[in-house]
Amino acid sequence: MKHESDDADFADFAGARWGRLLRIAFMLTGDFHEAEDLVQVTLIKVCDHWRRIPDGEVDLYVRRALINNYRSRLRKRRVVQFLTSLVPERPDSGHTETVEHRIALAQALNSLSSRQRAAVILRYWDDMSEQQTAEILGCSPNTVKVHTRRALAALRTHPALATYAPILTGETR
């Protein structure tokens, strides 16, 4: 039987993490509305198990559920992926990222497999360790390294990112 305090705890958690989960989901799906659906479905499923999730593992559990729901949707082919250049957060006022940069990155991310994309997003955008990423993806840290290495190699050679090759490879002109 659920207690009111459990419901309040879950509501507080969901409210506090909504924006971050939405940005992760957007980077995975490339569609703002699909990202919202993905986060909502994930939080509904997490709510059903809220009392059984250990306190120290809530963030890990929710990210794992988000990635699993994303991958499940791809397997079921209910979703057509179309990554766009719109990001659901505004850059800092000093940030000079252009629309062309976002379009190029979205095209390149779209070319990756779902596991590669998830590994890159969790490792470099969500700033997670290899171990944390492995726990979320349900694989070993070495598998995360392989997915990340292959994804970065694909991104370095992707035509949409050709103008950024010196930045990605560390070369100087």
Q: Residue 80: which residues within 8 A CB-CB, separation 6 or more?
A: none
- What the block records as the tokens of 75 is 């397997």
d(CA 58, CA 107): 32
Whole-angstrom Cα distance, residue 51 to residue 101?
A: 43
pTM of the model: 0.66
Closest of 89, 45, 42, 85 to residue 67, by C-alpha: 42
Q: What is the pLDDT of residue 93?
A: 46
How big is the CA angle at 22 (ends 5 and 51), to the nearest 5 degrees? 25
Would you mind telling me the total number of residues written for the chain in this entry?
173
The helix-helix angle for 99-110 and 141-157 (nearest 10°) equals 120
CA separation for the pair 93, 159 (Å, rounded): 29
Q: What is the pLDDT along the chain (173 residues), one digit of tens a residue?
A: 344 567 788 899 999 999 999 999 988 888 888 899 999 999 999 998 898 888 888 999 999 999 999 988 877 655 455 555 665 565 554 444 566 777 778 888 888 998 999 999 999 888 899 999 999 999 999 999 999 999 999 988 888 887 765 555 555 54
